[in-house]
Structures are given as C-alpha cells and as structure tokens.
Amino acid sequence: MVLSLKDIRNVLVLGCGTLGARVGLRFALSGFQVKMYDIDKDIFPSAKTSQTQLLQYLAKKKLFNPQKTEEVLNSITWTTSPQLAAQEVHLINESVTEDVEVKLKVWEQFGVLSPAYTIFTTNTSFLLPSMFAEASGRPGRFCAFHFHDIFHANVVDIMPHAGTEKWVTELLVALSTVLEQVPVYVEKESPGYIFNSMLIGVLNSACTLLADGIGSVETIDKSWMGNLKTGIGPFGMMDAIGLDTAWHVAKRHEGRVNKKFISLLRQMIDDGKLGVKSGQGFYSYPNPRFKDPNFLS
C-alpha cells in the first residue's frame, strides 16, 4: 500500500538520546502524534528536559507560542514496550546508537512488529540504509532520513538505497517541508551524506592538531570561529554531537581518524565525559567557555 503525506499521522521515534528527543519534538511541533521508544527508561527524563528547553529556546526566539507547550508535549507519549510502540504507526525514524549490530537488531524487531504499511527511516550519521534494508523485511519502504541539529540547522538528508521505492523518497521530500527542514536529496548512497562527509574532514584535522600538540581545544576552536564568524568550533560541535556518538563514528573510520584521538575520546567516555548531554566534555555545560562573549577577544 502506497502512502501519501496526508496518511502520515502517527510517528514512532526509536531511541530517545540526543537526536531522538529532537526528532520527536520536531514531529510534534508539526502536528503529528509521536511515540518515543527506548530500551532504557532512565533516558526519558533527560529527553523530556531537552524537549522543554528547546521549546523555551524557540519561544524566546519568537518561533513558538509558549501557550501551546502543553498541547505539544501532550502529543508525545513514551514507552519501553516495542509492541505498544509499533501499534498503528505510519512512519518510524530510528535514532538508536550508531552501531551496526544495535541498528540491525532494532530493524529486525520492528520489521516484524510494525504494520505492513509503515515507512521505515534511519537517522544514521555515517552508515548506509542498504545495511539495514533487508533486515527490516521491507527494503522498498526503507530510506535514510537524516536530521542535523534540527532547530539551529534545519537540513534533512534523504538518501535512498538502490531498492527504495520512488514514492517513499518523494513523500520524504514533501514531509521535510512540513517539518520546516531543507531537504537535501542524496543521489547515491554515500557514508556521511554530503555535509557530514565534509565535516568529518574538519573534525579529523582538529583532532590531529590537538593530538599532535599543535594547539589546545580552545585555540583550535578560536581559530575556526574567528575565521568563519561562527558561534561554535570543532570541539564545541563534538560536545553537541555527543562524544560517544563521535567515538562510534571515529572507530568506524579508524584508518582515516587519528588513533591518539580515538584513545582520548575513549578515555573521556570512560570518565563519564560525553559532552553536552553529561554536562562535561571538551567544555563544561551549561556555560561553555566558547559561549563567553569575550572568548574571541
């Protein structure tokens, strides 16, 4: 059964970490009924806090009417039951850990549990939809739908694999606009889509400069921010992404990423430093040094 945009009402987000929380909120803001699913119920409080803080940020920017806060948050439900999660869902966005085995298991599970009409999308940063399409049991309905920051950077990548049916990609392009995202259609499967492919080069250079003792975290970020007039540098970006997610990506690109840096990331993760989500990474949060108005002076 081919779905059209108006058929999509119930959306399921798999994984309620850094990105899942944002994806769920974005769908709720656009009027969808959203179910949030995770294996770990302990992640729900921080995901809810992140959504509330994002609504406050949007209200401050006059992009959201704060009187609608309750209405938006009430359209989001939370569950650790895969059976309940999959019921009557029209579209799934999978935002679980960036690990092939974890994602394969999730797609095998939801391929069996979901209604036959459900469209499957993955938010993977560097893996390919063809790695999971068969495991999901419905390769024709499987496509990468990859968000970035969502609220500060509103770009979404749509990357089919060779077996994705055309109507699915067309529907996702139309859905992007409803979600107030700029659709970037990626013609051929490629790890990291377009922006992430470029970004990994920058992050790897920053990591090599740090690992080789050429500059400190702050010096490298200052150099980037001062030259490009942006509010965040490579290490601030890694903190925002999450150092565990960055580590998964770096491990997968082991040949291309500085080994000393992979070990440093591992050490930081073992010390509980995951970036913004744990309050400590290359910087301390909620008030990291690079946000200080005098950082570049």
Closer residue to ligand NAD in complex, CB, 100/264 = 100
Q: Is 17 in the site for ligand NAD (CB under 6 A)?
A: yes
Shortest reach from residue 150's CB to ligand NAD, in Å:
9
Instruction: Determine the Cα–Cα distance for residues 213 and 206; give it in Å rounded to an integer.
Output: 11
Q: Is 16 in the site for ligand NAD (CB under 6 A)?
A: yes
Closer residue to ligand NAD in complex, CB, 52/219 = 52
Shortest reach from residue 67's CB to ligand NAD, in Å:
29
Angle of the 243-252 helix axis to the 259-270 helix axis, nearest 10: 150
Q: Are 56 and 13 in contact (CB under 8 A)?
A: no
Q: Are 13 and 20 in contact (CB under 8 A)?
A: yes
Q: Are 167 and 42 in contact (CB under 8 A)?
A: no
Closer residue to ligand NAD in complex, CB, 7/253 = 253
Closer residue to ligand NAD in complex, CB, 20/24 = 20
End-to-end CA distance of the chain: 59
Instruction: Determine the Cα–Cα distance for residues 37 and 77; give it in Å rounded to an integer.
Output: 9
Q: Are 148 and 155 in contact (CB under 8 A)?
A: yes
Closer residue to ligand NAD in complex, CB, 16/250 = 16
- Return the residue matching tokens 């850094």: 18
**For residues 261-290, which are near ligand NAD according to CB under 6 A?**
none
Instruction: Determine the Cα–Cα distance for residues 183 and 254; give it in Å rounded to an integer.
Output: 30
Q: Which residues contact 195 (CB under 8 A, 6 or more apart)?
A: 148, 155, 157, 184
Identify the residue among 19, 25, 55, 269 touching ligand NAD (CB under 6 A): 19
**For residues 124-183, which are near ligand NAD according to CB under 6 A?**
124-125, 146-148
Shortest reach from residue 231's CB to ligand NAD, in Å:
16
Shortest reach from residue 102's CB to ligand NAD, in Å:
5
* Residue 216 region by backbone torsions, left for phi larger than 0, else alpha for psi between -120 and 50, else beta: beta
Identify the residue among 95, 118, 169, 181 touching ligand NAD (CB under 6 A): 95
Q: Is 14 in the site for ligand NAD (CB under 6 A)?
A: yes
Stretch near ligand NAD under the rule CB under 6 A, chosen from 50-58, 65-73, 120-128, 218-226: 120-128
**For residues 31-90, which are near ligand NAD according to CB under 6 A?**
38-40, 43
CA proximity to 121, closest of 105, 139, 109, 97: 139
Q: Which residues bind ligand NAD (CB under 6 A)?
A: 14-20, 38-40, 43, 95-98, 102, 105-106, 123-125, 146-148, 241-242, 244-245
